[in-house]
Amino acid sequence: MSERADQDPGLPLTLIVIGGGTMGRGIAIAALARTPDRVVLVETDPERREELALGVISDATARGADDAPARFSVAGSLADAPVADLIVEAVPEIPELKHRVLREAEGQLAADGILCSNTSSLSIASLAGALARPERFLGMHFFQPVPDTVLTELILHPGVAGATVERAQLWTERLGREAITARDVPGFATSRLGLAIGLEAMRMLEEGVASAEDIDRGMRLGYQHAVGPLRMTDMVGLDVRLAIAEYLAAELGPRFEPPRIMRDMVAAGKLGRKSGQGFFTWPAEER
């Protein structure tokens, strides 16, 4: 068995993760590996559900969660999932989609449950505005690859209850992670800074300052970044980062305007790791 935090009846015991993409899958694996909680992953695509069921259990078991098969399940909809102590929404960064999913998820919460969004840039206050009980909602931003990173960013809107923040912090600790808190501003603390570095790296590549490999090597070896900015963009997805850049450019100004190379690569389907080609080539076993 993996090393887990002591089970506390005041903390969530049933977790629902909505969205079986890279982030949702990673959150489920991390929860299985680090906590004794029951984890339900909601994925509407029937073709992906079987792969997720096998893949998440395999990855969690490899990390020491031998009882993962007994604690993990995949549901086709929220209606098929149990009442939850904690729900983490991890669907694509489309405001209308997130509003709809969060409204539906609110009805699946236990009386003292909390609801979180893994958004990396969208306004938490705006998302909270669609909810009946916004005091139980906050942003809970994870980082890739979720099972191997140790940070979670909690984003607070003005109406969030102190008890909600406390429970989110406790659950983050239970995952073996550290939490930072940020105000609800465009891009929060981490996405804003991380994207700024990534966009400048792309401009440098456009200008021929250095190769993608050397730009990333410079940040890894010179500034002790675990992953270079261009490889990180590949991991996040160029399409995802393009959407975030467009949003931040509209909110904060032209310093976040997406470089031409980024738009061209997305148009060509070069989305990074998930497509096999981005600033780097990704073999099948690394996707």
Location of structure tokens 């890894």? 220
pLDDT of residue 1: 36
Q: What local confidence, expressed as pLDDT, does residue 164 receive?
A: 98
pLDDT at 13 (0 to 100)? 86
- Provide CB contacts within 8 A for 133, sequence distance 6+: 106
> In angstroms, rounded to a whole number, what is the distance separating the alpha carbons of residues 285 and 56?
16
Note the pLDDT of residue 200: 98
Predicted local distance difference test score (pLDDT) of residue 286: 87
* Per-residue model confidence (pLDDT) at position 181: 97
Tokens of 202: 């792309």
The alpha carbon of residue 2 and the mean position of all alpha carbons in its chain are separated, in whole angstroms, by 23
Within 10 angstroms of residue 139's Cβ, the number of other Cβ atoms is: 29
Per-residue confidence (pLDDT) for residue 11, from 0 to 100? 55
Q: How many CB atoms lie within 10 A of CB 263?
A: 14
Q: What is the CA radius of gyration of the chain?
A: 19
**Res 165: pLDDT:** 98
Question: Which residues, 6 or more positions from 88, have their beta carbon under 8 angstroms from its beta carbon?
Answer: 15, 16, 17, 18, 24, 27, 116, 117, 118, 140
Residue partners of 260: CB distance under 8 A and separation at least 6 = 206
State the burial class of residue 193 (Cβ atoms within 10 Å of its Cβ: 0-12, 13-18, 19+). exposed
DSSP 285: G
Residue 285: predicted pLDDT: 85
Q: What angle do CA 173, 177, 179 make, to 5 degrees?
A: 80
DSSP-assigned states of every residue in 2-56: ---PPP-TTS-SEEEEE--SHHHHHHHHHHHHH---EEEEE---HHHHHHHHHHH
Predicted local confidence at residue 12, as pLDDT: 53
pLDDT, tens digit only, all 287 positions of the chain: 344 544 454 455 899 999 999 999 999 999 999 999 999 999 999 999 999 999 999 999 999 999 999 999 999 999 999 999 999 999 998 999 999 999 999 999 999 999 999 999 999 999 999 999 999 999 999 999 999 999 999 999 999 999 999 999 999 999 999 999 999 999 999 999 999 999 999 999 999 999 999 999 999 999 999 999 999 999 999 999 999 999 999 999 999 999 999 999 999 999 999 999 999 999 988 88
Q: Rounding to the nearest 10 degrees, give the CA dihedral for residues 93, 95, 99, 102.
A: 10
